[in-house]
Structure 1
Amino acid sequence: MKSSSAHALPEGFIPVMLTPFSDSGAVDYKGLARLTDYYMQAGSAGLFANCLSSEMYELTDQERLAITKQVVDQTNGQIPVVATGTLGGTIAQQADFVKKIYDTGVQAVIVITSQIAQENESDAIFIERMHELMNLTPDIPLGFYECPVPYKRLINTSILAELLPSKRLIYHKDTCLDETEVKRRLAVAQGYNFGLYDAYMVNAVSSLRAGAAGLSCIQGNIYPELIVWICKYFNDASKQEAVEKVQQFFTDSMEVVHSAYPTIAKYSLQKRGFPISTYTRRKIDPLTQDLKEKMDDLLITIDNLHNDLGIKPVYQPVFA
Structure 2
Amino acid sequence: MTPSNHTADTLPRGFIPVMLTPFLESGAIDSPGLAHLTDYYIASGAAGLFANCLSSEMYELTDSERLSITKQVVERAGGQVPVVATGTFGGSIAQQADFVKRIYDTGVQAVIVITSHLASEAESDAVFLDRMHQLMALTEAIPLGFYECPVPYKRLINSDILRELLPTGRLVYHKDTCLDADEVSRRLAVARGYNFALYDAYMVNAVSSLRAGAAGLCCIQGNIFPELITWLCTHFDDAARQDGVNEVQQFLTDSMDLVHTAYPTIAKYSLKKQGLPITLKTRRVVEPLTPALQNNMDDLLKTVAELRKNLGIEASFPVSSKA
TM-score normalised per structure 1: 0.97
Alignment map for 1:266-281 (pairs within 5 Å)? 266-281=268-283
1:248-283 Cα distance to aligned partner (Å, 9 max, x none): 000000000000000000000111111110000001
Whichever residue aligns with residue 128 of structure 1, its letter is D
1:195-232 Cα distance to aligned partner (Å, 9 max, x none): 00000000000000000000000000000000000000
Alignment map for 1:1-320 (pairs within 5 Å)? 1-4=1-4, 7-315=9-317
Whichever residue aligns with residue 308 of structure 2, its letter is H
Distance of 1:248 and 1:315 partners within structure 2: 25
Distance of 1:2 and 1:314 partners within structure 2: 36
Distance of 1:241 and 1:28 partners within structure 2: 40
Distance of 1:84 and 1:273 partners within structure 2: 28
Distance of 2:67 and 2:307 partners within structure 1: 37
Distance of 1:259 and 1:161 partners within structure 2: 36
Distance of 1:119 and 1:48 partners within structure 2: 25
Distance of 1:138 and 1:187 partners within structure 2: 27
Cα 1:77–1:315, aligned 2, differ >3 Å: closer, same or farther?
A: closer
The equivalent of 2:321 in structure 1 is none
Q: Indicate if the aligned counterparts of 2:3 and 2:143 stay in contact, CA closer than 8 A.
A: no
Q: Indicate if the aligned counterparts of 1:2 and 1:105 stay in contact, CA closer than 8 A.
A: no
Cα RMSD of the aligned pairs, angstroms, is 1.0
Distance of 1:128 and 1:191 partners within structure 2: 24
Whichever residue aligns with residue 94 of structure 1, its letter is Q
Distance of 1:308 and 1:46 partners within structure 2: 26
Whichever residue aligns with residue 294 of structure 2, its letter is K
Whichever residue aligns with residue 3 of structure 1, its letter is P
Distance of 2:290 and 2:212 partners within structure 1: 38
Whichever residue aligns with residue 221 of structure 2, its letter is Q
Q: Give the number of equivalent residue pairs.
A: 316
Structure 2, unaligned runs of 5 or more: 319-323
Shift of 1:26: 0.2
Indicate the larger mover: 181-190 or 68-77.
Answer: 68-77
Distance of 2:29 and 2:3 partners within structure 1: 30
Whichever residue aligns with residue 188 of structure 1, its letter is V
Shift of 1:3: 3.2
TM-score normalised per structure 2: 0.97
Distance of 1:245 and 1:35 partners within structure 2: 27
Stretches (4+) displaced over 3 A: 2-6
Q: Indicate if the aligned counterparts of 1:2 and 1:103 stay in contact, CA closer than 8 A.
A: no
Q: Secondary structure at the match of 1:53?
A: helix
Whichever residue aligns with residue 265 of structure 1, its letter is A
Distance of 2:17 and 2:275 partners within structure 1: 19
Distance of 1:210 and 1:120 partners within structure 2: 32
Shift of 1:11: 0.2
Distance of 1:78 and 1:31 partners within structure 2: 19
Q: Secondary structure at the match of 1:315?
A: coil
Question: Identity over the aligned pairs, expressed in percent?
Answer: 71
Distance of 1:238 and 1:286 partners within structure 2: 42
